[in-house]
Amino acid sequence: MTRSERIEFLLLHYQDVLAGLRDGGGDGDRLPLMCRAWNAPGYQELERLLPLLAGEAPRLHRAVVALYVHPQHRRRAVCSKCGQVVAPAAIGELHRHGRKGAPFVARMLREPLFPVDAADVPLAVAWLERHWRGDVFVPDELLPLVSVA
């Protein structure tokens, strides 16, 4: 994975790390703690850079917020062969590829919460990469997901 791919990976899992993962242990009478991945250098660096991005490049920050910080997920029909995305009503129908067809299957897809220019997302990742201090590390807790991504 390149540096920018690792940054995109961290952004892709930002919501999971921020809201969904909690450390276990204790007797139940404890304050919830952020997971270990949140305290990893990659997410701490991301937290340092996001406010700077907002100040220097608000349009790029808006794209990151819409797609990674507060994304929405929608059910769509996706061709199992070519990946074409269409309305959910097509789930189960065949998508023709010459004489052969492949079924449209249901998938939950990440979409921006509000409209953004698609070109702003790679520009935002490039901005983050330019301003990133040191190496970009994926936390150990997320390494099993690297092979899936």
| Domain match, 97 and 142 both | no
Instruction: Give the pLDDT of residue 20.
Output: 54
Same domain for 130 and 105: no
Tokens of 149: 């991504």
**For residue range 100-136, what is the model confidence (pLDDT) as tens digits?**
899 999 999 989 999 999 999 999 999 999 999 999 9
**pLDDT category, 48, cuts 50, 70, 90?**
very high
Average pLDDT over residues 33-58: 89
Q: Are 85 and 109 in contact (CB under 8 A)?
A: yes
Cβ distance 21 to 11 under 8 Å?
no
Residue ranges making up the domain that contains 48: 3-71+112-146
Report the number of distinct structural domains present in the chain.
Answer: 2
Verify that 61 and 103 share a domain, yes or no: no
| Residue among 88, 58, 92 nearest 73 (CA) | 88
pLDDT (0 to 100) of residue 147: 65
How far does Cα 70 stand from its chain's mean position? 10
- CA neighbours within 13 Å on the CB side: how many for 44? 12
Asked if residue 117 and residue 66 are part of one domain, the reply reads: yes
Cross-strand partners of 6: none
